[in-house]
Structure 1
Amino acid sequence: MCNIHTLNHNGHSLLHYAVQYDQVGSTEMARLLLDRRDQDPNVTVPYSSRSDEEGLTPLCFALHNPKTRKDFPDAAWFVNVDPDAVNLLGETPLDTQKNTARKNPHLKNNASFPFLLDEIRDLRSLRQATSTETVEDVWSDVGDGSDEDENFEDAVEVL
């Protein structure tokens, strides 16, 4: 399993969303968004209430529907995963026919997503990593030593 944490657009903080490529779905995204809201009073999450577990339901539907998903720009990189990038990591690719977020300009142009996609493509050697190699071992063959590479190295965790 490969969990990827990405820097936000400004590079000032980490978005603590773990993307599990074999379990990408609206329920997981809803839980992550609600957790973020609970930790940060400045975050608002439309369509949701956490009075009980059923509060996840309207939010899941909103995330699943391309017309309402545009209300979640911070989730764009999560739902708009490039199947080729996933393949580079040796994980199961998403079904491109069902990945409707790829056709949504509001999500596709979100600033945080292209940054993540570029970095994932730069990490293609992770697919060849052996069980004895660490992220640092692999990164020494990939990064060019720039500040952006160093920041992303801190944001990548291979389990």
Structure 2
Amino acid sequence: MIRLISLFAAGLLMAATTAMAKKPVEQIIVVDTPENFAILVDKIRAEMAPGKRFEFLSTNNRKIVDQSLDLIASMLADDGSVDAMDKNEKVRVTNELEKVNGLLAQNADDRLVCSYENPIGSHIPVKKCYTARQLENNRREGRRQLDQVNRNSRTNGRSN
């Protein structure tokens, strides 16, 4: 029995290691100094570019994220580090970081959006999940096809 349990545990360990090996581990950046925070800001702004993870941020949300990041950077530059800040400044930095994290999490392209749909001929709902990027690509493709149909109908209508 002990041998069976140890084999099962070893199998779980190997499966977990294989699953973990597939996903690259991101290095955690501690934002306690202006230099470290600048690295984080550069990474966030790079991910806000078209085709990247946060490309679906609205103009207004993009402005809020930029303002919050600039405010935190200036506060860190003034005090030199988070440890040198007083309690109120630390609270303000934390609140600004939470605001940025919330906006980025809500607009990430890998965010799952799930809905329940009834398949044709069935009353049993099925859960379907898509990433925000898939939904946006489907919306754009549908819009492109609709525009193409409209262009074709206008050109065919004029030739008659």
TM-score by length of 1: 0.27
Q: Which has the higher contact order (CA 8 A, sep 6+)?
A: 1
TM-score by length of 2: 0.27
Greater share of residues in helix: 2
